[in-house]
Amino acid sequence: MKPCPRCEASIDDSARFCSQCGAPQNEEAAEELDQYVQRQAKQVAGGAGSGGGGNGGRDGVTAADVFGVAAEELTEREQLWRRGSYVLGYATVVVALTQITNPGAWFLLLGGIAILPPTRRLLGLPVGGTFKREAMAGLYAVFVVLGVVLFFAL
């Protein structure tokens, strides 16, 4: 029996991993663990849809389809648009929820949800792409104008 270098638990001399903390006990086990972690990271990032047969893509929809490309792949202008959409969308949703008893708040809520980037991609999946940012911004503007008009009219 030897102690685990990580947690000091007694483990068998031939053990590849510690039974208490899971730490690898030799270089081969460490490399195996590293490869496993890399495969899991690819599956989470949506890379499993192109091979391996993992559960990354049901009906051909991967995580990249739903959440879009990674932030590193976007231009600075696209990142700014995405951040602005999130801020504007969530701020509109919060305002709508604070005034939910007013009928105009329902249009504000719809507008806030429409401008969020995941909504744009999810609504575009059935037609094979994403809706244009300008189309979603126009939809947001229509809902907000209707909401504000109803908010003050009623």
Q: Does residue 140 fall inside a structural domain?
A: yes
Asked whether residue 48 falls in the same domain as residue 75, the answer is no
137 burial class (0-12, 13-18, 19+ CB within 10 angstroms)? middle
In a domain, 43, yes or no: yes
Q: Kindly state whether residue 125 falls inside one of the protein's structural domains.
A: yes
Give the count of beta carbons closer than 10 Å to the beta carbon of residue 115: 27
Q: Same structural domain for residues 75 and 138?
A: yes
What is the band of 48 on the pLDDT scale with cuts at 50, 70, 90? very low
Instruction: At 60, give phi and psi (nearest 5°).
Output: 80, 5
Quickly list H helices, 99-132: 103-115, 117-124
pLDDT given for residue 122 in this prediction: 80
Residue-number span of the structural domain to which 28 is assigned: 2-58
Same domain, 53 and 95: no
Most confident region among 51-60, 67-76, 128-137 by mean pLDDT:
128-137
Residues 31 and 85 in one domain: no
45 and 99 belong to one structural domain? no
User: pTM for this one?
Assistant: 0.50
- What pLDDT is attached to residue 27? 85
The verdict on residue 63 lying in a domain is no
> Same domain, yes or no, for 107 and 51?
no
